[in-house]
Amino acid sequence: APARFPRDPLEQPPSLCILADSREISSGAEVISSLKAVHGVKVQVCSLGSSDYIVSSRMAVERRLLSELLSSGSRSKAAQQRLQRLQGTFERICVIVEKDRVKAGETSRLAQRTQHYDAVLAALLQAGVRLLFSSCQEETAALLKDLALVEQRKNAAIRVPTEVQGHQREMLSFYLSIPNLSYLAALNMCHHFGSVKKMVNSSPSDIAAGAQVSAQKAEEIFRYLRYAFDVEMLPEDLCAKGR
């Protein structure tokens, strides 16, 4: 009987790729370096704007410090708006709650769990957001890698080259200006459609396949491209120069 050969041991699954927002270079330097050094993940830093990390074609991850969630400060309002926008852009959102770093010599301020904090957790769950808890930046990196691995198993891994050059750069900024489109979906479009004209003339199902987005999102993009522009509806301040 023909022997069944095991899979080539040298054949490795494609390496994991995670996109990180450029602001994370300063606020989460150890997350990025430990993703690269400890976990061997390819980290592409780009200006995502919308989210801290993108781990798959459908999942965005926000990194939040515990202290931010404990207090109901002015920053929480901005954070709420950010999450609302994310929900328009991504199918899945995960928030990693990370413990604040305690400086050497500083006595650990045992932060009191607040009612506000519990309400935030409940509200996030209600909004369908996944929650993970981390005690330091290194742990956050491990969690990001685990999330990317799970998404890879579900066939949603980031597979396109993350760098763009020349004409592709212009195409990318064109796609990025489409409302509620994630950076990765725009990147997928760049690599999948040879030209903008081809993309604009695609059917919703072609858009869904090319950009790797849901059918609903593809329909939204399709309608946007055919939206009948009415100058009268343009806010005054925008068209002042044009007139």
Partner 1 sequence: PVTAASMVVPYGHVIGNEKWRGSEMAQKLQGKTRLIFEDGLGIVDFHISNRICILYISEADLVAGDEFKRRLVRFRNASSVGGIVIVEKTQISDQYFLAVQKLVVLELGMVLLPVANQGEASQLITQLVSFCISGQIFIKIQDTRRIPVREQSKDHNSNPFLRKQSSQLAEPSVFRTVQQIPGVGKTKALLLLQRFGSIHQLCNASVEELELVVGQTVARQIHSF
Q: What residues line the site for partner 1 (CB under 8 A)?
A: 80, 83-84, 87-88, 113, 115, 118-119, 121-133, 135, 139, 142, 146-147, 150, 154, 170-171, 173-174, 176-179, 195-197, 200-201, 224-231, 233-235, 238-239, 241-243
> Using CA atoms, how far apart are residues 61 and 19, in angstroms rounded to an integer?
10
Closest C-alpha among 75, 78, 17 to residue 43: 17
- What is the three-class DSSP state of 110? coil
Nearer to partner 1, 1 or 229 (CB): 229
Cα distance between the two ends of the chain: 80
Q: How far apart are CA 60 and CA 95, in angstroms?
A: 9
Closer CB to partner 1, residue 17 or residue 171?
A: 171
Q: Least distance to partner 1 from the beta carbon of 12, Å?
A: 21
Instruction: Name the residue with tokens 């509806």.
Output: 233
Select 12 or 177, whichever has its Cβ closest to partner 1: 177
How many DSSP H helices and E strands does the chain contain? Answer: 12, 6
- Provide, rounded to whole angstroms, the least separation between the CB of residue 203 and partner 1: 12
Least distance in Å: CB of 1 to partner 1?
36
When the beta carbons of 1 and 231 are compared against partner 1, the nearer one is: 231
**Is the Cβ of residue 45 or residue 150 nearer to partner 1 in the bound state?**
150
Q: How far is the CB of 138 from partner 1 (least distance, A)?
A: 11
Degrees, nearest 5: CA angle 35-62-54: 60
